[in-house]
Homo-oligomer: A and B are copies of this chain.
Amino acid sequence: MKKLKRSARLVELTQYLTSRPHTLIPLTTFADRYGAAKSSISEDLTIIKEVFEEEGVGELLTLAGAAGGVKYIPRLSREKAFSFMSDLCNQLEQPERLLPGDYIYMSDLLGQPSILNEVGKIFASVFADTPIDVIMTVETKGIPLAHATGTQLNLPVVLVRRDHQMTEGSAVSINYVSGSHKSLHTMTLSRRALKEKSRVLIIDDFMKAGGTIQGMVDLLGEFNATVAGVGVLLESGAVDTEDRLWADYVSLATLTEVDAKSKKIMVKPGNYFENEK
């Protein structure tokens, strides 16, 4: 046990809490760790709480009682999220991103740690109060987004594969229709990857008609698991409502127009911001 001064305790506490989001830490942990009275630790936490709230970094939740403690909940205000996403939309509108078949190149953005970290925080803010056991995505481009969200929510990520892999053990496969081409595909999940009755948050990078999402939902059915929520970074706005295979989702950006001839891409913030100005 080491005795620390308040200034050193504040540094350590901040570092300890921010590296363990959504984790309940009993006050005794800190009291023991720093050789300080619980009342001193409480005062420290009040200072941290105020700074976090002022900065819009997140919330410090204090739970009283025997099973109590403190929990850091990353929360990005909708205002900050909107400002970040508006900027990302501008980047997505760069004409050189347009690929044959009206695809948009965004792998560079999905490779940037600062962008992933921020999108992870936004998804974690959206679903902060939803009971979730695990995050699910399907390979490949959604993987870093799912993990960035898992980091902020302190939740494991389960990965659906396109083919059955020898490294996954026995697996459950389903077929699904990809809405955009009406073509048939297979997706596969290792039997041991998901516990029965898990509440699952589905995260993906792009959604058109939602066939891939519907496929993951069907797969969840095979595990007696349920959908706790669906979050997509970018949705295609060019889908008629009756063609939507999955309708209940949160999108952070919407692709409203793609014109190959004039190389024009238009992206606006997604349905998460719909009630905003």
Residues of A participating in the B interface, judged by any CB pair closer than 8 Å: 6-8, 10-12, 14-15, 18-19, 47-48, 50-52, 55, 57, 99-101, 103-108, 111-114, 116-117, 139-141, 143-144, 147-148, 150-151, 154-159, 161, 166-169, 190, 192-193
Nearest to A97 among chain B residues (CB) is B169
Chain B residues contacting A10 (CB-CB under 8 Å) are: 7, 10-11, 14
A168 to B140, CA, bound (A): 12
A147 to B140, CA, bound (A): 13
- Tell whether A167 pairs with B143 under 8 Å between CB atoms, given A113-B155, A192-B108: no
A15 to B7, CA, bound (A): 14
Of B51, B139, B141, B192, the contact of A11 (CB 8 Å cutoff): B51
Chain B residues contacting A139 (CB-CB under 8 Å) are: 139-140
Q: Is A12 within 8 A of B51, CB to CB?
A: yes
Of B14, B156, B169, the contact of A113 (CB 8 Å cutoff): B156
How far apart are A23's CB and chain B's nearest CB, in angstroms? 9
How far apart are A9's CB and chain B's nearest CB, in angstroms? 9
A64 to B183, CA, bound (A): 60
How far apart are A91's CB and chain B's nearest CB, in angstroms? 14
How far apart are A3's CB and chain B's nearest CB, in angstroms? 12
Chain B residues contacting A48 (CB-CB under 8 Å) are: 11
Please state the number of chain copies in the assembly.
2
Of B7, B52, B100, B192, the contact of A166 (CB 8 Å cutoff): B100
A143 to B140, CA, bound (A): 9
13 sample A-B contacts, Cβ–Cβ < 8 Å, listed by A number: A8-B51, A10-B11, A14-B18, A15-B18, A15-B52, A99-B169, A105-B169, A106-B167, A107-B159, A111-B156, A112-B156, A140-B161, A143-B143
Chain B residues contacting A116 (CB-CB under 8 Å) are: 147, 151
- Tell whether A55 pairs with B15 under 8 Å between CB atoms, given A99-B169, A111-B159, A141-B167: yes
Q: Is B167 within 8 A of A117, CB to CB?
A: no
Q: Is B107 within 8 A of A168, CB to CB?
A: yes
How far apart are A105's CB and chain B's nearest CB, in angstroms? 5
